[in-house]
A and B are shown apart, each in its own frame.
Chain A
Amino acid sequence: MRVTNKLIVGNIISNISRNQERLDRAQTTVSTGKIVNKPSDDPVAMANILHYRKTISDIDQYTNNIAQAKTHIQLCESTLAAINDLLVDARRLASYENPGTSDERASLAEQVKHMYDNIMQLANTRSDKGYIFSGHDTDSAPFSRDESYNATYHGNDGDIRIIVGAGVDVEINVTGEDALGGDVDVFGILKDLIDAFENPDPEAGLSRITAQIVPLTDAIDQIHKVTTTVGSTLARLDTTENQLAAFRLNVENMLTGAEDADIATAILELQAQEIAYETCLASAATALQSSLIDFLR
């Protein structure tokens, strides 16, 4: 083949620009640490990367949902535990063999009234998201009483759910109805106990008092039952949270595999390209310098 000066120059230019392009690509890989920098670098990998990124973002959101739900459930649990303690105390009062003098009974009645108000105060616990035992009616206190200790439930039986996975949601709330109303009317039992202590007839009063032991036990059982339900939800959320964390790790690994450059390989590649580029320049310099003119006198 006949080789002309323009041909040599043209080839040198195209070789240099090809080497520059490769050098640039190697440089981009090293500086971004990524092998896929735009969709056309690898369309399939890009689609996977976007999918992994969305999955990670979803997992983070679910984890956040669970963390908030757990705070809510733990608040429910501790409140229920406090109510339980108060009910146990009330049952102990009801178990007194000797109701004592009318003064003593009056003071016991006062104690039960305190417990009643304490339990109502606990049942009206609110978090930053509203009253926790009101069902859907989170902006109004679930319980109130009149002067003669008749309690009214203002909430409803609405369940509050949170999302823990794609299309998966979990109920996280306990309504006042579930815990303190329904089959066992806790405030009604306490009112009966107060009334019994305040009964002017000691004999009749005593039988009314002891009659509350069984209902109070039922009330304590109901609180236990609700606590167990809440506790198992919490356990389920914990399991889900751990699963999500493990899954996130897997997806992150896959994302890294699809997106990130192996930095050692990338640096070696960059060095190889640098050498190739410099060699190309050096050979260009020699090829361009020689001409017949140099040898003519």
Chain B
Amino acid sequence: MSNITGILNVAKGALSTQQRAIDVTGHNIANVNTPGYSRQRATIVTNKPISSSCGPMGTGVQVEDIKRIYDRFLGNQINTENSNLGRWEAQKGGLEKAEMVLNESSGYGLSQAMTAFWNAWQDLVNNPSGHTERLVLSAKGQALADTFNRAHSDLKSIQADMDANIEGTVTEINRFTDQIADLNRQIAGIEGNGQNANDLRDERDLLLNELSYMVDVTSSEASDGSVTVALSSGRTLVQNDRSWDLSAQNNPSGFPSIAWKDGSGNSVDITHTISGGELKGWVEVRDILIPGYLASLDELANQIMEGVNSLHVEGFGLNGSTGDEFFNGTSASDMAVSANIVANVDIIAAAGSAAGVPGDNSMAIAISDVQNELTMSGNTTTFGDFCHSIIGQLGTDVQEAMTRFDHEAAMVNELSSYRESVSGVSLDEEMLNLIKFQHAYEAAARLITTADELMETVITMV
């Protein structure tokens, strides 16, 4: 059907196709900085040819659909690494706080307080009847106890921080899964009509990406375009347009545990099946690492108190008193110098025998020597070395978290770069496309003018 109307039809199709393509280009340019946006392309196809006397004849062009350009396997890979990134970033953050608590480099740490305490005992050795030496010793003992108390409560407050983070993130996760379920519904609706829900998919991918940073999830796409999201442990979070909530519930140990609610509202504790994401990092810091440091501090405080007290009760104070303990308490949290000693430093037992008072310093020597005994870790280390090993352990833990974080950050960065390379908008490219489509549009417009002139020629012929 090679006639002038045919030319007009071709021109009309070309105009609307180029215009649509410019539209898509504009959408790309507008979203150049939108997080999660994948560039789109109008799929331009030639119309079905019609048969004519001289063979099949082209009938112009149309936009078949608008596709987004992305690598469908990249998403899952990024999400997996993102879970690891979230985990190590959270762990690193928590541990760095713990490191500040036990940082000795400024010179006001536990190690310092312990040394000062033992040195105060030696000062008492030098002058067993000295009132000043006794007051100083009592004060240094209290300073040591305070340092233990403070380290303990600071570590506890980091655990509380982790709790707050966990609770906040659980709420966030629920919000995200709700949104994903909602997007599932919209996408299934649109794609059921045979169209591409490009922007909604971008939005959903972005949500999945952010969700994977918070907790380790796996996702798989169903044939209707909806995704099923599940925790790595298998609990479903989103299926079709339904979502299952997580909750943070207090457990007997006082820390909220993370629970998954099944369809009938029953809660299942999943705290320790979480294996990635920020939740994992925080749970690890709160339930494994900090309790470890706390246990070491408690052990150290307990052994120091026991070592000093067991000798001190045998000794004799300036006023002949005996049987008094120097420290009260059993752990880092409740360690304190005995109230009796604070009230009357004369009962500090420097003497080894009642007859030796006041010049005998043998008990003070014995107590000073406790610091050199291998009392810790199954009688293999001294108090000082044990204290240094706690700090060394913490340093190693922080260092590991940092290394892992750096590694994961590099991985995610690399993968994101790759994703960006595939799906990102290049302004130069869009500019070229714009010019390309603009020229095509101008030419199509010219085609109409030409057809119009042809038509006019025909009319004037009549």
Contacts and interface: CB of A to CB of B under 8 A. Distances in A.
Please indicate whether A and B come from the same complex rather than being unrelated chains.
yes
Contacts of A291: 427-428
A182 interface: no
A203 to B, nearest CB: 48
B359 A138 contact: yes
Contacts of A3: 421, 426
A270 B127 CA distance: 51
Most buried by B among A51, A64, A129, A296: A129
Contacts of B398: 38-40
Contacts of A68: 126-127
A296 B421 contact: no
Interface stretch (A53-61, A79-87, A224-232, A243-251): A53-61
Nearest to A39: B395
A50 interface: yes
Interface string A124-145: 0000111000111111000000
B453 interface: no
A100 interface: no
Interface string B86-100: 000000000010011
Given A6-B33, A39-B99, A39-B394, A139 B129 contact: yes
Contacts of B393: 43
B417 interface: yes
Interface string B381-396: 0001101110111111
A137 B104 contact: no
Interface of A: 1-7, 10-11, 14, 34, 36-44, 46-47, 49-51, 53-54, 57-58, 61-62, 64-65, 68-69, 128-130, 134-139, 156, 158, 160-163, 166-167, 169, 291-293, 296
Interface of B: 32-33, 96, 99-100, 102-105, 111-112, 115, 118-119, 122-123, 125-127, 129-130, 351, 355-362, 365, 368-369, 372, 384-385, 387-389, 391-396, 398-399, 402, 413, 416-417, 420-422, 424-429, 431-432, 435
16 contacts: A34-B105, A39-B395, A40-B396, A40-B402, A42-B395, A46-B105, A46-B391, A47-B391, A50-B111, A57-B115, A136-B357, A137-B359, A156-B355, A166-B372, A291-B428, A292-B427
Given A3-B421, A46-B391, 9 more contacts: A1-B421, A4-B424, A10-B416, A38-B395, A39-B398, A53-B115, A65-B125, A158-B359, A163-B368
